[in-house]
Chain A
Amino acid sequence: MTEWEAVIGLETHVELQTKSKMFCGCPVDFGDEPNTAVCPVCLALPGALPVPNREAIEGILSIGDALNCTLTEDSLFYRKNYFYPDLPKNYQISQYTFPLCVDGHLDVDVDGESTTVGITRVHMEEDTGKSTHVGESGRIHGAEHTLLDFNRAGVPLVEVVTEPDIRSPEQARAYGMELQRIVRALGVSDARLEEGSMRFDANISIRPVGSEELGTRSEVKNVNSLRSMQRAIAYEITRQIEVLESGGSIHLETRHWDEAKGVTKPGRTKEDSADYRYFQDPDLLPLHIDDAWRERVRDRRPKLPAAKRARYRELGADERAADLLTDAGDLGGLFESAVAEGADARTVAIWLTGEVVAYLRREETEVGETSLTASSLARLAEMTTGGDLSATAAKEVLAGVLAGEGNPRDVAEARDLLQISDVNAIEAEVDAVLEQHPQALEKLREGDPKPIGFLVGQVMRATGGKADPRMVQDLIRKKTQE
């Protein structure tokens, strides 16, 4: 029985979050109304000329830098020619030879084991418009006609191509997650698969273990979550093994993932790359990225997710909390600043990954839109460790701060949650309780520890839960010995 090995390469498209499109000033942030963010350039009207968006070039260079690529000194735009109406020019401006970033790598943890995925290239191109196929099937096959909306045509698009270094669906997913974290950390894209601002295509082939030769690959498209990418790749590996083991052969083809049925289905047979008749776009000047520019890109590289995770662990967050804080970009920053202001790391990590994450999900909001700040977290942590607030009360205060009720002290006062830290006041309550329960006091004095819980409970009730239970217990012990 042959043992098979999967060989997987990923192509990832990332839409950059610039204000304007790649080659014209049309807005990238458009509504649902079709063809309202278009102009002579992105509609390919005669005589219109493209001019590259500098911010988009900065964006792709940041991505290439974060993926440990060499930033190409002299780079060119090409025309990729094809006949499909989603771009009105009949070609897509893309890159071919001399892409902006080459020869990088990304380290990815799979089940606690570190692996490295080679990055072949990262190149700049433009997104296409959206086609709606109208007809009974709602699909391209059997459509009566097609409607075109060019709002998305010309949005800056970065393509990241890996080496065929990936060996399992799990590794593919881990790579996808890490890449998503990186582009979010760089602030160049929101990288949402479900909204199409990040899209994965997987090239998959199998070969007998030990073989160096690559098998014929199929390309799987249409995965709209990292989970479905993992499922689609796993399905495709099984399918290819079954085909080969039953004496069949794999065809070079594009296959579409059907999420509902959990299968890939054949699409068009792949054109070879010569069919795109790539040639340099004469409308666009060469790009020259000099040493100074490369240095600027390196200098502004923010702390990347892998470094952040390590840092949060170092500060005292546990593994799960460190992952959560890294994924929720703003929360990690908040964590670091609060700890810098003296807050206890473990306490803050627990609040952020517990109450705060739950609140943000429930209210469908971002932490930046709430009144929670690093200082308020630090104050809250201080009040808790200082004995002003019980752990339970602290969570209630946190909810109040998130809801915009004010700073922790105001919320604690308004909600009447401050613990009584005045020893004399608590002592008076303790005395009153002991007076009401002489038998309990007697038992304690005789060395029976049982009544202590009852007595503490009575004092807590008398103070409306605002006494520090530990202090109450100490006071009762002291009275016993009098």
Chain B
Amino acid sequence: MPVEIDIERVAHLARIALTDDEMAAYGKQLVHILEHAERVQALPTDGVEPTSHPLPMVNAFRSDEVTDPLSRDDALAGAPDVEDGYFRVPKILDE
């Protein structure tokens, strides 16, 4: 079954700017991946328990205990821009 993909839309959703060449190349690769998924989906799975995680484990919890946060200097150390203890980012909407 032929798989189609709107690579431009996928790139936009991920906010990735692609050149025409990249779009063609990645588009082809994504189609391969989806075709593989199609093949897996075609397998008979009656009587097979669905799995949602590769590990046969559930319920890894922590108890509700407070641990020391980072110092603010450490928290902000990797930020490209900082103002008054805040992370500073460029304006969000171009409108």
Q: A52-B62, A54-B63 are in contact. Are A143 and B88 (CB under 8 A)?
A: no
Interface residue A25 (Cβ < 8 Å from any Cβ of B): yes
Size range of the chain B interface in the assembly: 20 to 34
**Hey, what's the 0/1 contact readout for B53-95 against A, CB within 8 Å counting as 1?**
1010111111111110110100110100001111111111101
A26 vs B69: C-alpha distance when bound (angstroms): 6
State whether B91 touches A148 (Cβ < 8 A).
no
Contact bitstring A38-61, B, C-beta under 8 A = 1, else 0? 111001010000011111110000
Q: What's the minimum C-beta distance from B17 to chain A, rounded to whole angstroms?
A: 13
Residue ID in chain B nearest A281 by CB atoms: B53
B89 proximity list for chain A (CB < 8 A)? 85, 145-148
| Closest beta carbon of chain B to A79's beta carbon, Å | 13
| B15 contacts chain A at the CB level, 8 A cutoff | yes
Nearest B residue to A288 via CB reads B58
Q: Note all chain A residues with C-beta closer than 8 A to B88.
A: 145-148
Interface size band for A: 35 or more
Q: Which of B58, B67, B85 contacts A35 (CB 8 A)?
A: B85
Kindly state whether residue B13 has any CB partner on chain A within 8 Å. yes
Contacts of A249 in B (CB 8 A): none
Asked if residues A285 and B70 are in contact (CB atoms below 8 Å), the reply is no
Q: Is A454 an interface residue (CB 8 A)?
A: no
Task: Determine whether the beta carbon of A19 is less than 8 Å from that of B92.
Answer: no
Q: Interface on chain A toward B: helix, strand, loop, or mixed SS?
A: loop
Residues of A within 8 A of B78 (CB): 45
Cβ of A242 within 8 Å of any chain B Cβ, yes or no, is no
- List A74-117 residues whose CB lies under 8 Å from chain B: 74, 76, 81, 83-85
What's the nearest-Cβ distance from chain A to residue B6, in Å? 12
Could you tell me if A285 and B60 are in contact, using CB atoms closer than 8 angstroms?
yes
B52 at interface by CB-CB < 8 Å: yes
- A20 near B67 with CB under 8 A, answer yes
* Distance A169 CA – B45 CA, assembled complex (angstroms): 48
Q: Known contacts A35-B75, A45-B78; is A51 also within 8 Å of B62 by CB?
A: yes
- Interface segment among A133-141, A179-187, A418-426: the answer is A133-141
B91 partner, pick from A36, A132, A146, beta carbons under 8 A: A146
Contact residue among A36, A54, A135, A286 (Cβ-Cβ distance under 8 Å from B69): A36
Are A53 and B61 within 8 A (Cβ)? yes
Query: Can you name 6 A-B residue pairings with CB atoms under 8 Å?
Result: A36-B72, A38-B70, A43-B70, A147-B89, A285-B57, A288-B58
Beyond A52-B61, A132-B86, A149-B86, 11 additional contacts (C-beta under 8 Å) are A20-B64, A38-B70, A51-B60, A51-B61, A53-B63, A74-B58, A145-B91, A147-B84, A148-B89, A150-B87, A286-B58
Chain A residues near B (Cβ < 8 Å): 18-20, 24-27, 33-40, 43, 45, 51-57, 74, 76, 81, 83-85, 131-133, 135, 140-141, 143-150, 275, 277, 280, 282, 284-288
